[in-house]
Structures are given as C-alpha cells and as structure tokens.
Amino acid sequence: MPAKKREPGKGPVERLHEKIATRDIGWFFAQIADRVAERRTEMGMSQRDLAERCGTTQSAIARLERGGRPPRIDTLLRIADALHCDLVVELAPRDE
C-alpha cells in the first residue's frame, strides 16, 4: 500500500513544535510557563516544593518553566491548584 501524500503546509504538531521553539510570548504555553514561575516565586516556593504539592517532579516543573514540552491538562490543573489559581483556557479563531 503506497504512503499517503501529505498536503503542503504545517500540521498541528509542526505548528506546536514551532511555537515551543520560538517561545512566542503571546502564545498559550509560554504565558502559562511565565505565570507559573512568577506565581511560584511570589509564594516563596522552590520548583521542588511545587512539584511535591502537585504530584510531579522538579524536572517537570523546570521543563514547563523554560518552555519545554507542554504538560498534560491534568498536570496543569494540579499546578494551578497548588498555586491557588484557576486554569483558564480560551479557544479563539486563528487569523488566516
């Protein structure tokens, strides 16, 4: 069976990787990463403290804060709870 031809252009995964790599400041995960670090610092917590409060590892918190691979939504919800915050997600049409 021949391989399917892909349409030219970027798919969702490619766009995601590009946004992570460029850390576009207006982008969703970059904003969350910045806010997590800011809020954690305001609360006097280390990355390890936050990790223990939300059941993840210090390296996962560090990866989030430096804009690495985006965490799963359940992890984001636990982080928000540990930081006494609400996680707000907005879906908006793209400008194309």
pLDDT digits (tens, 9 = 90+) for 56-94: 999 999 999 988 777 888 999 999 999 999 998 777 787
Q: What would the mean pLDDT of 21-50 be, rounded to a whole number?
A: 83
User: Does the residue 12 lie in any domain?
Assistant: no
pLDDT of residue 20: 57
More confident residue, 15 or 69: 69
pLDDT confidence tier of residue 25, bands split at 50, 70 and 90:
very low
For residues 68 and 20, the answer to whether their CB atoms sit within 8 Å is yes
- Domain with residue 41: its CATH number is 1.10.260.40
- Total domains in the fold of the chain: 1
User: Does the residue 76 lie in any domain?
Assistant: yes
CA distance 94 to 8: 19
pLDDT of residue 67: 81
Look at residue 8 and give its three-state secondary structure.
Answer: coil
For residues 82 and 49, the answer to whether their CB atoms sit within 8 Å is no
Whether residue 15 has pLDDT greater than 80: no
Cα 47 to Cα 24, 56, 63, 85, 88, distances in angstroms: 23, 10, 10, 16, 22
